Amino acid sequence: MMFDTRKIKCGVAGVGYLGRHHARIYDSLGSSELVGIFEPNDDAAHLVCSSHKCLRFSSLEELGAACDAVSVVSPTDRHAEVAIPLIHAGCHLLVEKPLCVSSEEAELILNEAQSSGTIVQVGHIEHYNPVMKFLEKAVNKPKYLTGERLAPFQPRGTEVGVVLDLMIHDIGIAMALVDSPIKQVDAIGVRVLSSAEDIANARLVFENQCVANLSASRVSEKKAREIRVFQDAGYLSLDFMNQKGHLIEKNGISLEKKEVPVEKGEPLALELDYFLRCVSEVSTPKTDGNFGKSALEVALSITRQIEEAW
């Protein structure tokens, strides 16, 4: 379906902490019209509807019938049950990461989307962060990379462990930058405040011999989203949260430090704008359902290894 120059009718399924930002951005973008939301919680629904003068639909089927594109921002363990009715209604979907909680559910979503001819973009937001745009140009045959993602504890998101909650961002980044199959995974994790792992470390060995060492914690006193990439030409140190960093390059027998020219922007707004362009152009997102499923399967293998050691 082509949408020409008319605004794309958008909705949000789930307007908790993150979902209300999806609603805010759809309401502000010139290419979209925020039609409405589906949200079981009365207070959350009232806040968004009163702020953005949009409708509250009583079912996913009604939301899907009114919209061209919908963001699925429900708890991860409900992504599949929310996404399928919207796909059946013909909606293109932005499903927050992780795509879902199992390979079986991921396969179901992908099969339904393919049968319906609908676009599924998975919300691996860092791929739309201006830092990633720089990395995609600057990284060439990396040999080793490290990723650190830290956050204070919050009850939301604890329906899954920290690997599916936070580390999956860096799994996706590593997979995109290294561009080689993973041949070995070694992982460890610790429960602190929830029933799943709250701290985790994973070592991914790729077939091209590159190694990625990823650490994640959701019980940290500070916030951090940083990556370091080492390659023959030197190394890069980037901060996804503050959108800055530096590049260390070889200059003869010495090293030269250069600040990275990152053009700052709100990653979620950039992500949703990209999604709407894919809908308008009927093009495949760079973090499509297949990418989301691949990142999920790596995350699930890390989680299984952690749980087997308990």
Question: DSSP string of 222-280?
Answer: S-EEEEEEEETTEEEEEETTTTEEEEEEEETTEEEEEE-------HHHHHHHHHHHHHH
Residue 278 lies in a domain: no
Residue 121, beta-bridge partner list: 94, 288
The secondary structure of residue 164, as a DSSP letter, is I
State residue 252's pLDDT score.
83
Domain boundary among 101, 118, 135: 118
Q: Which residues of the chain have pLDDT under 70?
A: 1-5
Residue 285 lies in a domain: no
Residue 279 lies in a domain: no
Do residues 140 and 258 both lie within one domain?
Answer: yes
Do residues 304 and 155 both lie within one domain?
Answer: yes
Q: What is the CATH number of the domain that holds 145?
A: 3.30.360.10
State residue 233's pLDDT score.
84
Do residues 139 and 238 both lie within one domain?
Answer: yes
The candidate with the shortest Cα–Cα distance to 176, out of 100, 124, 253, 121, is 124
State residue 158's pLDDT score.
83
Domains held by the chain: number:
2
Cis-peptide, bond into residue 98, ω within 30° of zero? yes
Tokens standing for residue 225 = 């989203």
Cα 201 to Cα 46, 143, 190, distances in angstroms? 40, 19, 9
Domain boundary among 118, 153, 183: 118
- Contacts for 78 with CB less than 8 Å, ≥ 6 apart: none
Half-sphere exposure of 36 (CA within 13 A, CB side): 15
Do residues 165 and 302 both lie within one domain?
Answer: yes
Q: What is the CATH number of the domain that holds 61?
A: 3.40.50.720
Do residues 113 and 133 both lie within one domain?
Answer: no
State residue 243's pLDDT score.
97
| Contact between residue 200 and residue 162 where contact means Cβ atoms under 8 Å apart | yes
Residue-number span of the structural domain to which 163 is assigned: 127-264+298-308
Do residues 139 and 232 both lie within one domain?
Answer: yes
Handedness of CA 172, 102, 164, 97 (dihedral sign): positive
Q: Is residue 177 classed as helix, strand or coil in its secondary structure?
A: helix
Do residues 167 and 258 both lie within one domain?
Answer: yes
The predicted-structure confidence for 149-182, as pLDDT tens digits, reads as follows 999 999 887 889 999 999 999 999 999 999 999 9
Residue 282 lies in a domain: no
Domain boundary among 118, 146, 161: 118
| Contact between residue 200 and residue 302 where contact means Cβ atoms under 8 Å apart | yes
Residue 178 lies in a domain: yes
Residue 169 lies in a domain: yes
Do residues 145 and 257 both lie within one domain?
Answer: yes
Residue 270 lies in a domain: no
Residue 277 lies in a domain: no
Do residues 172 and 239 both lie within one domain?
Answer: yes
Do residues 57 and 181 both lie within one domain?
Answer: no
Residue 224, beta-bridge partner list: 150
Element (H, E) at 189: strand 182-190
Q: In whole angstroms, give the CA distance from residue 80 to residue 85.
A: 9
| Contact between residue 167 and residue 299 where contact means Cβ atoms under 8 Å apart | yes
Do residues 91 and 168 both lie within one domain?
Answer: no
State residue 2's pLDDT score.
42
State residue 83's pLDDT score.
98
Tokens standing for residue 220 = 């940290």
Do residues 199 and 104 both lie within one domain?
Answer: no
CB burial string 269-301: b at 16+ within 10 A, e below: bbbbbbbbebbbeeeebebbbebbbbbbbbbbb
